Structure 1
């Protein structure tokens, strides 16, 4: 749908027009799931969004308020840092995480309160070094 809606035409009529044109071009023929009922969804109103994100290998934490997403990110930090080879990159990742934690504390709350403070960068780097399995980790 690259054309713009003509002035004076309702959005509903414009959408219907676009659908009709696609049908005439055959773009609606043989679509996956044609003639089958929609799958039943469990969960809340946005569960289908989360399912779609999972199917497309996207991070579903984007649906969470920051006060819930950030602690999950902190919990996953050791696994993320295990793939990093440079200390400066570890420091940059932790600095970015700390910036986002402080941003949440400065803004009006969205969702439950964030019960997480900034991470100690030097402590995270020390743990990262101790977990190092290879000699190629550099400062």
Structure 2
């Protein structure tokens, strides 16, 4: 705990003296972000800035379940192209089909899904032909 401010000293000079002492001891050397610009310094004030940062940091999805599933299916189909093992591709498609069936059967909020069950054989055959090229 720091010492109490002497009565005869002004608050400003007392704080400045503590800062100078800390600087001379190297307390401010090698701090993370030193020399970097402050994030969002020039941005206009947004009252929901903390919510947006939380959503970005925690990767929270705000989409209705049907749209979230469509987004996930698109990402997984792109990832399937890079998979080496055909059995893993079939397992991934089976998992996606289970999720599609579940969302199609239960979603009551947001837009309805436009996704039907994926044709596993068609996806695998298309993947095979693209890999041969």
Give TM class, smaller chain: 0.5 to 0.7
Map residues 89-100 of structure 1 onto 2, 5 A cutoff.
Answer: 89-100=88-99
Give 1:119 shift.
0.6
Name the Cα RMSD after superposition: 3.4
**Contact conserved, 1:41 with 1:47, CA < 8 A, in 2?**
no
Give 1:41 shift.
4.4
Q: Structure 2 unaligned segments of length 5 or more: list them.
A: 1-27
Structure 1: how far apart are the matches of 2:116 and 2:50? 32
Structure 1: how far apart are the matches of 2:130 and 2:48? 39
Give 1:130 shift.
1.5
Q: What residue number does 1:50 align with?
A: 55
- Give me the TM-score of the superposition, normalised by structure 2: 0.56
- Give me the TM-score of the superposition, normalised by structure 1: 0.54
Question: Which runs of at least 4 in structure 1 moved beyond 3 Å after TM superposition?
Answer: 38-46
Q: What residue number does 1:137 align with?
A: none
Q: What residue number does 1:17 align with?
A: none
Q: What residue number does 1:73 align with?
A: 72
Map residues 1-139 of structure 1 onto 2, 5 A cutoff.
Answer: 40-41=45-46, 46-53=51-58, 58=59, 60=60, 62-132=61-131
Q: Max radius of gyration: which structure?
A: 2
SS in 2 for 1:132: helix
Give 1:129 shift.
0.9
Instruction: Mark the CA change 1:123 to 1:41 in structure 2 (over 3 Å): closer, same or farther.
Output: farther
Q: Structure 1 unaligned segments of length 5 or more: list them.
A: 1-29, 135-139
Number of residue pairs aligned between Structure 1 and Structure 2: 98
Instruction: Mark the CA change 1:41 to 1:120 in structure 2 (over 3 Å): closer, same or farther.
Output: farther
SS in 1 for 2:108: coil
